[in-house]
Amino acid sequence: MSDTGERIFSQAVEDYVKAIYKLQNEGQSVSTTDLAKKIGATPAAATKMIKHLAENRLIDHTPYYGVRLTLAGERVALEIIRHHRLLELYLHQALGYGWDEVDAEAEKLEHHISEEFEERIDRMLDYPRTDPHGDPIPTRDGLIEPNRGKPLAESEPGETLMILRVRDSSPEALRYLASIGLHLEVVVRVKEKQPLDGALTLDVNGVTRSVGRELAGYVFVEDRKAREEVSVP
């Protein structure tokens, strides 16, 4: 009950921290070049920001060897991701945005909402755990559940699977997946798997569909049986 809702870090800082968080989630330490690429700036700009972040104890920096978030940095990242995912869900549920549209709008808003706003939409959505792509929403105090599911691309013929999560890659990919019936919670059965390119033939609600290996790598699933025990929280 002490802070008055002022933002502590600039939007740029928040963007970098968030980018580092995401890169860190596949591969231990984050390189300057990868970070620069993700942010859309030059490596030189990234280096300068890295110094700034390190001075503010948001990251540990071993020159020439990359960067890792400190605990403080992770807290900042998770707060922004919380904003982002709550906003995505809110836009979807309350304003009818499609799951391919929510990311762009949430990106614009995530740095600018107050704690009050966050709290209100959280309550309005009844304290949700996942966003419209099935990604977990961090809690107010910076905890996050692990990502759910294994890639559909790694499944084998005969398996019956439920879609739990879809990587929020491009709006086009999301729209295409939706168009062939691959939404969250949908159950699919794997009919065939091409031996060479890994393309899958699926049964989706009685309709036969094909997805290439790349797209199938964006869809995360869980064995049908495992799901029955978890049920509603």
Partner DNA sequence: CGGAAGTTTTAACCAGGGTTAAAATAAAAT
Partner DNA sequence: ATTTTATTTTAACCCTGGTTAAAACTTCCG
Binding site for its own copies (CB under 8 A): 94-97, 101, 104-105, 108-109, 111-114, 116-117, 120-121, 124
Q: Which residues have C-beta within 8 Å of that of residue 122, sequence separation ≥ 6?
A: 86, 128, 140
- Report the nearest approach of DNA to the CB of residue 87 (Å): 21
DSSP string, 163-215: EEEE----HHHHHHHHHTT--TT-EEEEEEE-TTT--EEEEETTEEEEE-HHH
Site string for DNA, 29-48 (x = CB under 7 A): --xxxx----x-xxxxxxxx
Token pair of 16, please? Answer: 């970098």
113 binds, options its own copies, DNA, none, Cβ within 5 to 8 A by partner type: its own copies
When the beta carbons of 9 and 117 are compared against its own copies, the nearer one is: 117
Q: Does 107 bind DNA (CB under 7 A)?
A: no
Residues 12-31 contacting DNA, CB under 7 A: 12-13, 31
226 binds, options its own copies, DNA, none, Cβ within 5 to 8 A by partner type: none
- Total binding residues toward DNA, as defined by CB under 7 A: 26
Task: Identify residue 133 by its one-letter amino acid code.
Answer: H
Contacts 24+ apart (CB under 8 A), 196-205: 198/153, 200/152, 200/153, 200/155, 204/180, 205/181
Q: Does 65 bind DNA (CB under 7 A)?
A: yes
Binding positions for DNA, rule: CB under 7 A: 10-13, 31-34, 39, 41-52, 61, 63-66
